[in-house]
Structure 1
Amino acid sequence: MTTVSQLRKAALALPGTEEGTHLGMAAFSVRGKGFASVAKGGWVQLRLPADEADAALAVHPSGERLARAGTPIGFRVPLTDVNGKDLNALVRAAWTHRAPKRLVTATSQDGNDGDLPASIGKPATGALLGAGITTLAQVATRTEQELLALHGVGPKAVRILREVLAEQGRSLRE
């Protein structure tokens, strides 16, 4: 169970984040693009790409997709139904999705890139971050083909990611 203050702490820890309000509730943006907000009833709303929203929905069944004019734009879940670690990861993924790629890459080079192994190299790290993939858990939701389709991710990076995931008892999606 998390609170608005924990959401605030997670969001404001990310570079370029500004806090404002949306309909009288806390809202967070990066360079003018909203990525997280609180809605009535204590729901946290996160702007996420479709695959990230699918992964979040699989882990948090009390959540639901966010859509605007019939177009999926993210995920929302009651704050009380998500733990702090998951909230941090979701907020980071939403920030990565909405932040300018240059800011995401600069953050990555400062060592704030989740648990992605440095041994995959800067091009692969930048490609993953640019696609909103900031953690090994998110890597595990992808297939080898999906990873290789990202400009900057090659066979060596995929091999390293497979090895690191295997050490943790996980693997890429088949």
Structure 2
Amino acid sequence: MTTLSQLRKAALGLPEVEEGTHFGMVAFSVRGKGFASVTKDGWVQLQMGGEGVDKALGAHPQGERLERAGKVIGFRVPLKAINGKDLNELVYVSWSHRAPKRLAAALAGAQKAAAAGPVGDLPSAIGKPATRALLGAGIESLEQVAGHSEAELLELHGMGPKAVRILQEAMTERGLTFRS
């Protein structure tokens, strides 16, 4: 079972996402294009193409196909009926569907780079989720990490207190500190 706060963290952890409202619902958009929203009765609605919808329905039969004028526009599922990991994946698919192609490609490249191994001088001990989070935010070095506050880093999806502590230790060795 997931919550609105988990959806919010997953959505806002992606590049250039803004939170707002759409017809009274909490909604998330990337460069002005909506990709996820939550109805007042607790259904998460995700914009995605037909292939993504088919895959989502296969994994979550309690969900529903969203159509407008006979055209598939997305998928919806009760927020309480989906686990956090699956929600993260669906939010990413929806974001990728609506994000500008170059932005989506840049994030996909960052994820591949994180999976391949160490990136720049970022300590591998922070883990792959934290590395992906940093790369997704355009941060590839400790010097770039120093341009952010601890709070900003903790807002990134995949970044936790342990990763921030490890980054702080590595930065201290180089005479760097987080931005205040």
Question: 1:61 is matched by which residue type in structure 2?
Answer: P
Mark the CA change 1:7 to 1:113 in structure 2 (over 3 Å): closer, same or farther: farther
**Corresponding residue for 2:172?**
none
What SS does the corresponding residue of 1:10 show, helix, strand or coil?
A: helix
Question: 1:95 is matched by which residue type in structure 2?
Answer: W
What SS does the corresponding residue of 1:75 show, helix, strand or coil?
A: strand
**Corresponding residue for 1:12?**
12
- Following the alignment from structure 2 to structure 1, what is the Cα–Cα distance between the partners of residues 31 and 113? 21
Task: Say what the alpha-carbon RMSD is for the aligned residues.
Answer: 1.9
Question: 1:35 is matched by which residue type in structure 2?
Answer: F
- Cα deviation, 1:133-164, whole Å, max 9, x if unaligned, reads xxxxxxxxxxxxxxxxxxxxxxxxxxxxxxxx
**Corresponding residue for 2:119?**
none
Unaligned runs of 5+ in 2: 117-180
What SS does the corresponding residue of 1:112 show, helix, strand or coil?
A: helix
| Higher RCO, Cα 8 Å, sep 6+ | 2
Mark the CA change 1:9 to 1:114 in structure 2 (over 3 Å): closer, same or farther: farther
**Corresponding residue for 2:111?**
112
**Corresponding residue for 2:49?**
49
- Following the alignment from structure 2 to structure 1, what is the Cα–Cα distance between the partners of residues 44 and 15? 20
Mark the CA change 1:99 to 1:114 in structure 2 (over 3 Å): closer, same or farther: farther
- Following the alignment from structure 1 to structure 2, what is the Cα–Cα distance between the partners of residues 103 and 87? 21
Deviation at 1:113, TM superposition (A): 5.1
**Corresponding residue for 1:39?**
39
TM-score (norm 2): 0.61
Q: What are the residue-to-residue correspondences of 1:1-174 with 2, within 5 Å?
A: 1-109=1-109, 111-112=110-111
Question: 1:4 is matched by which residue type in structure 2?
Answer: L
- Cα deviation, 1:107-130, whole Å, max 9, x if unaligned, reads 233x23599x65xxxxxxxxxxxx
TM-score (norm 1): 0.63
Query: In the comparison of the two structures, how many residue pairs are matched?
Result: 117
- Identity of counterpart residues, as a percentage? 65
Mark the CA change 1:62 to 1:10 in structure 2 (over 3 Å): closer, same or farther: same
Question: 1:80 is matched by which residue type in structure 2?
Answer: K
